[in-house]
């Protein structure tokens, strides 16, 4: 019988990237799908490749395990980050942990998750298709503003928050307007250069 390292799960912080409708979230480094309602079990890549004998996950001698940080500070630049429960065999490091099992506790959609952030414009439909399956994880989902403030988007037991949804729709429309203004400005600027060039 394996005795867990801790009685209660550890809460760490990690980031994900967008997946598909079947597994909306995927691990950032190895594309491992995080399925709603099922904990992610660590898998040793060296064992699967035949380079290491089978062993208990998250051992000190190997780098396998589901990783999480002790602080969310480094994660705010990613579109989706949040809190995660860690349990089973757990190895502590200076900045975080590696664990045998993990499951999201809280999801935060930061500004990079919204359309119009950075050099690419994400369509409203694509953004909605990404956000729509997230409640299947059964955890709270927050929207984070560039100021660092958060508002609930979805909560277990009560569903979507109307104010957060209205803000998100308004944000999408304002981004589309800004993109149209930029496009017009570029056209006018190009025409001006052509008229002034000899």
pLDDT digits (tens, 9 = 90+) for 16-65: 988 776 778 999 888 889 999 999 988 777 655 554 555 555 566 677 78
Number of domains in the chain: 1
Asked if 67 and 92 count as a contact pair (C-beta separation under 8 A), the reply is no
Structural domain includes residue 76: yes
Q: How far apart are CA 34 and CA 19, in angstroms?
A: 9
**What does the alpha-carbon distance between residue 134 and residue 107 come to, in Å, rounded to a whole number?**
9
Question: Is residue 1 included in any domain, yes or no?
Answer: no
The residue among 168, 165, 145, 166 whose CA lies nearest residue 155 is 165
Residue 83 lies in a domain: yes
| Angle of CA points 130, 136, 142, to nearest 5° | 65
Q: Evaluate whether residue 186 is within a structural domain.
A: yes
Per-residue tokens: 132:
């729509």
Task: Answer yes or no: is 5 within a domain.
Answer: no
Report pLDDT for 44.
Answer: 75
Query: Distance between CA atoms of 191 and 129, rounded to whole angstroms?
Result: 38
- Which residue range(s) make up the domain with 160? 10-196
Q: Report yes or no on 189 lying in a domain.
A: yes
């Amino acid at each position: 019988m394996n005795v867990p390292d801790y009685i209660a799960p550890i809460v760490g912080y990690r980031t994900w990237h967008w997946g598909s409708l079947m597994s909306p979230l995927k691990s950032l480094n190895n594309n491992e799908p995080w399925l709603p309602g099922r904990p992610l079990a660590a898998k040793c890549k060296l064992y699967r490749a035949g380079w290491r004998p089978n062993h208990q996950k998250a051992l000190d001698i190997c780098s396998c395990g589901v990783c999480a940080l002790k602080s969310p500070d480094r994660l705010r630049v990613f579109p989706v980050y949040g809190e995660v429960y860690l349990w089973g065999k757990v190895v502590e490091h200076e900045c975080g942990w590696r664990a045998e099992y993990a499951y999201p506790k809280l999801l935060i959609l930061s500004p990079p998750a919204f359309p119009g952030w950075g050099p690419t414009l994400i369509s409203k439909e694509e953004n909605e298709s990404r956000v729509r399956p997230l409640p299947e994880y059964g955890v709270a989902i927050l929207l984070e503003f560039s100021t660092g403030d958060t508002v609930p988007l979805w909560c277990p037991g009560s569903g979507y928050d109307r104010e957060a949804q209205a803000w998100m729709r308004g944000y999408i429309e304002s981004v589309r307007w800004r993109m149209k203004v930029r496009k017009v400005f570029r056209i006018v600027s190009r025409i001006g250069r052509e008229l002034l060039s000899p």
